[in-house]
Amino acid sequence: ILNVEQSPQSLHVQEGDSTNFTCSFPSSNFYALHWYRWETAKSPEALFVMTLNGDEKKKGRISATLNTKEGYSYLYIKGSQPEDSATYLCAFYSGGGADGLTFGKGTHLIIQP
């Protein structure tokens, strides 16, 4: 069973502040790292799929970086807004053998007005 760790587990951020959180994953047999945004009572929504070491992706105020050699990815949110409140999931994909993503338990982000 692959170990995908996310920290912190939960995070309270003041509106307007920037924040970031971490996903750690196995550095061997890397194929892709996914980030999802999951709002309460909705389904997870894909943010990024990252495949290359050093990759940096951006979508509006949200960006992510990837270090496959040391096995971590950071998700950054610039100028947090209340609508950013959600659980952010990362998921590791090793590509071969048994298919499917191994998910972290998520970082629950609450933006306080």
Partner 1 sequence: NAGVTQTPKFQVLKTGQSMTLQCAQDMNHEYMSWYRQDPGMGLRLIHYSVGAGITDQGEVPNGYNVSRSTTEDFPLRLLSAAPSQTSVYFCASKGYGYTFGSGTRLTVV
Q: Enumerate binding residues for partner 1 (CB under 8 A).
A: 1, 34, 36, 42-49, 89, 91, 98-106
Measured from the CB atom, the residue of 3 and 112 that comes closer to partner 1 is: 3
- For residue 59 the two structure tokens come to 């979508």
Contact of 94 with 28, CB cutoff 8 Å: no
Estimate to the nearest angstrom the gap between the alpha carbon of 8 and the chain centroid.
Answer: 11
Measured from the CB atom, the residue of 17 and 39 that comes closer to partner 1 is: 39
Contact of 103 with 44, CB cutoff 8 Å: no
State the minimum distance, in angstroms, from the CB of residue 63 to partner 1. 16
State the minimum distance, in angstroms, from the CB of residue 72 to partner 1. 17
